[in-house]
Every structure is written in structure tokens, then in C-alpha cells.
Structure 1
Amino acid sequence: MTGAAVGDWTRWPAPAKLNLFLRIVGRRPDGYHRLQTVFQLLDWGDTVQLRLRDDGRVCREATEGYAVPEVEDLTVRAAKLLKYESKTPLGVDIVVEKRIPLGGGFGGGSSDAATVLVALNHLWGTGLGQDQLAVLGLALGADVPVFVRGRSAWAEGVGEVLSPITLPPASYLLVDSGESVPTVELFQASDLTRDAPPATISDFASGPCLGNAFEPVLRRRSEAVATVLDTLAQFGTAALTGTGGGCFVRFDARADAEAALARLPDGMRAWVADGVDVSPLHRALSAA
């Protein structure tokens, strides 16, 4: 039993993530880049509302500030993919309460899609296992599996080879530079380092910042990203997340992160969030 009837709305978290480092260590024969990164899940993000339908239709309701065309929306694609794979006769209405900035590298679209897969698997009673859902998620995007599995993780491959990792408690000051560069364009950049030496989990745990391969590329291309990184550097080690224009600084104490937030120049779009090892989505699923 799912606990939700046709026509009832349910609400599910879609947490943001940070890439605590990101390096490219080579290319696969198919041309895809081989990555290494650590995904830190956060206690802050979007909310996805789902309402079961008995007519089999998958519909997304428009919301203010969420301008993704429905045909391109990963939440719609995720629902249709799960429906196709499971052969369920049920449908769903989808509403996304958007907080994670689009194109910022915080994983919003991927997390929304993963939430639809995980929550609908429960609501529709389709019974797919986590491994099956992760495979479906990978077809939607390289970052979707980490949200499906719901654990902060060391990641390799294209980001889908995941090893759960327990990270020290931390709070993060997040800033959206407003810069959104197509990921494909960044991967094609001539000045991108694609042959970094592989790191190990012990390298990461020892403390030195391993950096983000895309940070110097974006610094040279975007004055907005460079300005945000330089501003954040007064508080600690400023870093880029993912391949977007989102930046962050880590703090041991939330009060210090909030104090830094208060000192940012007016007009910067910023938040404070705490790192979590287990996704809020999976906590909600356990409660359901």
C-alpha cells in the first residue's frame, strides 16, 4: 500500500548537491570523460509535488519561476520512463517548487528527476529496486543516480560509479553567480585539463583541496564567476560546484556560514545549507 489515493497530493524533497572536488582523469573509448568527484548532499533544495491519476496521463503543472519547457523537463521524462518500464496504468500530475537555481551546478534538474523516480516507484507500487531505478536515472543524466541512491558518495566513471562516503559535519555558504554555460561547451573547451592524475579517497580525506577542473575555464570565460569566487575567498577556500556557475565555501559551524552570508555584497543570490550523508528524500520515503 502506498498510503496515497488517486487525487491526493504528496510532497517530496529534491535536495541539492555540491561537488567537493571534480577532476577529469581521461576519456573512454566512446568519447565520454572519466571523472572523479565527491558528491555532498545538502539539506536544502526543491520540493516535488505528485498527485496520482487513474487515466494514465503524465502532466506537469506550470509554476512561477520554472520556465523549463515540458518537453525538456526531466521530471516528465522520468515519470514517462518509469511508466514505460513498469507498465503501470496509473498517471501523475507533477508540480516542481523550484529553489535550486537552473544551470548552477547544484544538481536541481537531476535531483528533481530522481525524486520523481523514487517517489513514483513508491506511489505507483511498481516495485523496482534501487539498482533498477539508478539505471533508469543514468539514462536521464549522469548525476541522477547519486540522488536515486540517496547517499553522499565518492564517484567515478561518468559520475555513476558510486561509493557511499561519510563526510564530516559541515555547513556551506552557496552563491549563484547567475552564469549558466552549456555543459557540452565546457567539456569541449580547449583549455580544459582532461588528464589529471587519479586521486584516491585518502587523498581527499587528507585535506588539500583537489579543485574543480572547470573552475579555471569558467574564471577565464565569466567575470561573474570570477567575482563570486574572489568574494568568497575572504571567508575560506572558494570552490565551483559541477559545471555551472554555482560557488561555495565550507564552514565547520553553521553560525560562521551565516555570519559570512550577512557580509556578502548586496545583490548576491546566496544561501546557507548543511551537508547530509543521507538524502532528505530517502528519509521522507522511510517515513512514508
Structure 2
Amino acid sequence: MKFLHQCPAPAKLNLFLHVTGRRDDGYHLLQTAFQLIDHCDLLDFDVRQDGQVLRTNDVPGVPADSDLIVRAARLLQQKTGTTLGADLTLHKTLPMGGGVGGGSSDAATTLMALNHLWQTGLSRAELMLLGLQLGADVPFFIFGENAFAEGVGEELQAISTPERWFVVIEPGVHVPTPAIFSSRELTRDSKPVRIADFSSNAENYWRNDLQTVACAMFPQVDEAIQWLSQFGNAKMTGSGACVFCAFADESAADKVITQMPGRWKSWKAKSLNQHPLVDLLQR
């Protein structure tokens, strides 16, 4: 096979996110529940015989050499010693700096697709370990299922989540993750929970420890949460800026979208049980 086109890189939502401590190296210890949703970036991969890795299109604000998809492809080359290369085309839909994992998901899809195209033969566990060098969320997307995560986000256990729809608001600001994690106001001592606690308790019991800091630094995030909270348990995902609320069916999500203030970009998405690329690569 010489190419794979329209490969999905789905978004994720953090159904909760607790900061339970900090390691000596500065990384924060987290507990979270990752939920895959069907709002995706799409990537095209065309194999090159000359070993070059080239991004074929412009992505505003992201130079090609620092793009996670280019870095992921070159990391896979370095790890496996393959002499093949690839042209990479990224059709960007997911917001950057939104907390929905766009860059990490793009990197994961790149590793999964090129491992298949280049026939480099790495296992899922090996790809996850490689992906961790690119970002803490990358292993989750390669894991390919909704997950309860611990550590810096790389210790994963599969979980079952209900089928539902989500309304997501982009408040129009870019929230820099380092600024949130370095804030003196950040709670870093949430009591650790068990996966069974998450499975058995009502979801409004859970929170995002990063949300208070983000709302103080970016009032636009707080405003979006306050507006969406009239329809349910709205919260921020990741380190922001996107906020979301869950609904039992599509029609309920549609009703909220129709009332959305025009100053925000918003969208709906359906929950996924599995990364959509898994089936594609097994065909």
C-alpha cells in the first residue's frame, strides 16, 4: 500500500481532571477520564521512496519542522531505521490550544498510519511508548479506547462510557498549558480516586482542577461555562479553552446549538467507544 487518505484524528474530552501531586522533575501527577468523540482532523499519507518527510500544506502558526505530525514521522523513522518517507497533508478542524487533544491526536494518527504503511511492525505498546516522547496525551489516542488515566496521563485502563452527545464551545482564546500548570493558584493535592469510584458515582461529582485557574486568567472561558451550565453540568476540557456539556440525544444537543450566542464557535459531537482508525487499518 502506497497511501492512506482521510485518516481520522479524533478529539478527546476530559470527563474529569484531578491534579494529585507533582514529581521531582516538575511534571504533574494526574487522574482523568478520556472520552473519544467523533469530531476529527483528517490526515493524508503518501509514501515516498527517498526517505523525506514533508508536510504538503500550510498550517497557520505551525512551522512544518515543529509540527507534531512531522516530528512523529521522523521519530518513527529514527526508531525503526526505515528508508521510506512520506508526504503528510493535515486537514485541520480541531482548535489549537483548545484542550481537545488536536496536536496529540494528529501525532498518534501519524504513528499508527505510517507504522502500517511503512510496515515497520511496532506493537501498540511500542507505539504508545514512542508517542509519549511527543506529548502526554499521545499514548491515549494510540491506546484507542476511552480510558481512566493516571501518572502524567500515560497509565491507561479501558473504561466503558454511555453513548451520548456533547456540545462544545470554543471561547475564542488560546490557553497556554504551561501557564495553567505553573500557576500558584493550581490545586495540586486532590485526593486520589479509584477507577471504580468514577464508574459508580454521578458525574457532577467530578471536576477539572485546572478550570478555576483558567477561568481566572481567561474570563472568556468562565463566561462560556456559565452560559452552558444552564443546560447541564458544563466544564472545561484539559487545560482549556474548550468547554462542554453532555446530552442524552442529538436533538437535545441541537436545541442548545440553536441558542448559542453568535460570538462563539460551537459544535456537537457523538461519543465514540473506539478510535476510528483501528477499523480502517484492519481492513
Q: Same fold (TM over 0.5)?
A: yes
Of 30, 39, 43, which aligns to 2:38? 43
Which residue of structure 2 aligns with residue 70 of structure 1? 64
Which residue of structure 1 aligns with residue 197 of structure 2? 203
Whole-angstrom distance in 2 between the partners of 1:169 and 1:256: 14
Which residue of structure 2 aligns with residue 135 of structure 1? 129
Which residue of structure 1 aligns with residue 230 of structure 2? 234
Which residue of structure 2 aligns with residue 123 of structure 1? 117
Cα distance per residue 1:11-58 (max 9 Å; x no partner): 210000000000101112322111000000011110011111001000
Q: Does 1:90 align with 2:84?
A: yes
SS of 2:122's partner is coil
Q: Does 1:246 align with 2:242?
A: yes
Aligned residues: CA RMSD: 1.2
Whole-angstrom distance in 2 between the partners of 1:25 and 1:79: 33
Whole-angstrom distance in 1 between the partners of 2:66 and 2:227: 34
Shift of 1:218: 1.1
SS of 1:139's partner is coil
Amino acid at match of 1:197: K
Whole-angstrom distance in 1 between the partners of 2:272 and 2:5: 23
Which residue of structure 1 aligns with residue 152 of structure 2? 158
- The range that moved more, 197-206 or 137-146, is 197-206
Whole-angstrom distance in 2 between the partners of 1:201 and 1:165: 8
8 Å CA contact 1:21, 1:209 repeated in 2: no
8 Å CA contact 1:79, 1:116 repeated in 2: yes
SS of 1:233's partner is helix
Whole-angstrom distance in 2 between the partners of 1:189 and 1:34: 15
Amino acid at match of 1:247: V
8 Å CA contact 2:211, 2:240 repeated in 1: no
Within 5 Å, which residues of 2 pair with 1:53-64?
A: 53-63=48-58
Of 258, 264, 270, which aligns to 2:260? 264
Which residue of structure 2 aligns with residue 219 of structure 1? 215
Whole-angstrom distance in 1 between the partners of 2:236 and 2:197: 19
Whole-angstrom distance in 1 between the partners of 2:251 and 2:205: 23
Which residue of structure 1 aligns with residue 20 of structure 2? 25
- The range that moved more, 264-273 or 14-23, is 264-273
SS of 1:172's partner is strand
Whole-angstrom distance in 2 between the partners of 1:188 and 1:200: 26
SS of 2:145's partner is coil
Which residue of structure 1 aligns with residue 282 of structure 2? 286
Q: What stretches of structure 1 of length at least 5 have no aligned partner?
A: none
Amino acid at match of 1:254: E
Whole-angstrom distance in 2 between the partners of 1:11 and 1:125: 19
8 Å CA contact 1:66, 1:98 repeated in 2: no
8 Å CA contact 1:15, 1:281 repeated in 2: no
Which residue of structure 2 aligns with residue 184 of structure 1? 178
Cα distance per residue 1:69-119 (max 9 Å; x no partner): 112100000000001111111100001100000000000000000000000
Amino acid at match of 2:281: L
Shift of 1:9: 5.2
SS of 2:77's partner is helix
Which residue of structure 1 aligns with residue 75 of structure 2? 81
Shift of 1:282: 1.2
Displaced runs of 4 or more, over 6 A: none
**TM-score normalised by structure 2 residue count:** 0.96
Shift of 1:192: 0.4
